[in-house]
Amino acid sequence: MSSTNYLDRAIEIVQKAIDEDTKHNYPEAYKYYQNSLDYFMLALKYEKNEKSKQLIKSKINEYLGRAETLKDHLMNEKKGKSAIGVNGGGGAAGPTGKSKEDDDHDPETKKLRAGLADAILSEKPNVSWDDVAGLEGAKAALKEAVILPIKFPHLFTGKRTPWKGILLYGPPGTGKSYLAKAVATEAKSTFFSVSSSDLVSKWQGDSERLVKNLFQLARENKPSIIFVDEIDSLTGTRNESESEGSRRIKTEFLVQMNGVGHDDTGVLVLGATNIPWQLDNAIKRRFEKRIYIPLPGPEARRRMFEIHVGNTPCELSPKDYRVLADRTEGYSGSDISIVVRDALMQPVRKVISATHFKQVDSPDGGKKKWTPCSPGDPEAVEKSWTDVESDELQEPPLKLNDFLKSLEATRPTVTEADIQKHEQWTKESGAEGA
């Protein structure tokens, strides 16, 4: 039997232990914990990967600690006493009467929360609304749904309540995650940024507790925003081939988004997806507000070129930027970013391939510098870039032709079929366009 087989068996048994622990069936839970530890030890013995060994060791320590706690409790129970701290194995209240939510002293919960701490953006991403080219409809909708309730909470009283779930959807590369960064910068609130990899664990039971603790942290630090990128990978459509673990994560997400038994005022879930039609219907209903993020229009594309070029030396006129916007119909924001990055390398390529250089005035008024030129230039001197000192090189400015050359080698990544599918889903879902 291989290490993987032993580990799979250990996980299978420890899940039974957690289930019995949650039901307060402590004798059975203790028996399963003990049994699982035997398999964990065997898995550790045959495991060759050091990182996997460390992970298995940490789980052995966790479940061994839980088994010892249960053993003490069962022994004390025979003597007519109740052990302190038995609660924690499955997140349910134990014989101490400790509530389901009051698990601050549970070591396992502390570990889960420590792992989620990285999801909290302690520093603002420094992306303002002005940095997001176009998408005026989406920005207006997000200001109404996110910024206003935080800045003017007195406007949202009685029946006028802020949205609890907002879904950003559209073709890949259109700026959904970038918009979320702008929200994080502009909103004076705790911002949790998570992806499926942050919430999915190979250890059964951990994923649901991660989801639960994420929402608990958000409630404790409200006003707060939970941004889940690629939410479809966590909450996709249910089917027969779906794993039990997947179903449990989805169920926990639904429970937490419903907020039953909790005051969820001031907690917003912001989801992003490229394939909204694959979302589970129950999850889709929790996102009351749906905002379509389409491909950028001509003006947005022009602005994107300007933003990405930034302060790089260039000779592009306003007319040139309009030419580029016209030439990139069907390109996403991500596609345009790649075009600009490639174009920015064109002057570097000119330096490398040049066989002649000439001297030009330095922009700072200092001594003259060398810049690539045509062999036919009257001032051309035959030399290569290796003959030029680093402080004597003057980079050629960006020109329209640099961008046109890069456009020849780049194609849009979003197909017409992708766009039609999103537009059809928008019609069916009554979502708001951007």
Give the model's pLDDT for residue 86.
Answer: 44
Answer whether 206's CB lies under 8 Å from 115's CB: no
Looking at the structure, do residues 234 and 313 belong to the same domain, yes or no?
A: no
Same domain for 376 and 288, yes or no, is no
Same domain, 267 and 401: no
Residue 111 lies in a domain: no
Which residue, of 42, 67, 101, is where some domain finishes?
Answer: 101
Domain CATH code at residue 36: 1.20.58.80
CA distance 340 to 309: 7
Q: What's the pLDDT at 221?
A: 82
pLDDT of residue 103: 45
Please tell me whether residues 261 and 285 are part of one structural domain: yes
Among residues 32, 67, 101, which one ends one of the domains? 101
Q: For residues 247 and 255, what is the distance between their CA atoms, to the nearest angstrom?
A: 12
- The answer to whether 7 touches 56, Cβ cutoff 8 Å, is yes
In-domain check, residue 239 = yes
Q: What is the DSSP letter of 122?
A: -
289 and 212, same domain (yes or no): yes
Predicted structure pTM score: 0.66
Structure tokens at 20: 């019995």
Predicted confidence at residue 97, as pLDDT, reads 38
The answer to whether residues 304 and 287 belong to one domain is no
Residue 146 inside a domain? The answer is yes
Measured distance CA(58)–CA(61) in Å, rounded: 5
Q: What is the CATH number of the domain that holds 405?
A: 1.10.8.60
Both 72 and 126 in a single domain?
no
CB atoms within 10 A of CB 162: 20
CATH number (domain holding residue 214): 3.40.50.300
State residue 374's pLDDT score: 93
Q: Are residues 273 and 409 in the same domain?
A: no
> Kindly report the CA angle at 213 between 211 and 217, in degrees rounded to 5?
120
Task: Look at residue 108 and tell me if it is in a domain.
Answer: no
Q: Is residue 107 part of a domain?
A: no
Task: Tell me, yes or no, whether 135 and 264 share the same domain.
Answer: yes
pLDDT tens sequence for the chain (434 residues): 556 678 888 888 988 988 888 888 888 988 998 888 888 888 888 777 777 788 888 888 888 888 888 888 888 776 654 433 444 444 433 443 344 444 444 566 666 566 566 556 555 677 888 888 888 888 888 888 888 888 888 898 888 888 888 999 999 988 888 888 888 888 877 888 887 777 766 555 567 778 888 888 888 887 888 888 888 877 766 655 566 666 777 788 888 887 655 666 788 899 999 999 988 888 888 888 899 999 999 999 999 999 999 988 899 999 999 999 999 999 999 999 999 999 999 999 999 999 999 999 988 778 899 999 999 999 999 999 999 998 899 999 999 999 999 999 889 999 999 999 999 998 887 666 55
Tokens matching residue 337: 């970013």
d(CA 73, CA 81): 8
Per the listing, tokens 């009351």 go with 288
Inter-residue contact 356 to 382 (CB < 8 Å)? yes
Q: Which domain does 345 fall in, by range?
A: 298-413
Of 264, 289, 263, whose CA–CA distance to 276 is shortest?
Answer: 289
Please check whether residues 161 and 265 belong to one and the same domain.
Answer: yes
Which tokens in the block code for residue 321?
């930027």
Do 283 and 326 lie in a common domain?
no
Number of structural domains found in the chain: 3
106, part of any domain: no
Looking at the structure, tell me whether residues 285 and 346 fall in a common domain: no
All residues at 6 or more sequence positions from 287 whose CB lies less than 8 Å from its CB, including other chains: 165, 166, 167, 269, 271
Cβ(333)–Cβ(178) below 8 Å: yes
CB-CB neighbours of 427 under 10 Å: 9
What does the pLDDT read at residue 113?
61
Distances (CA, A) of 251 to 144, 208, 284: 29, 9, 13
Q: How many CB atoms lie within 10 A of CB 314?
A: 18
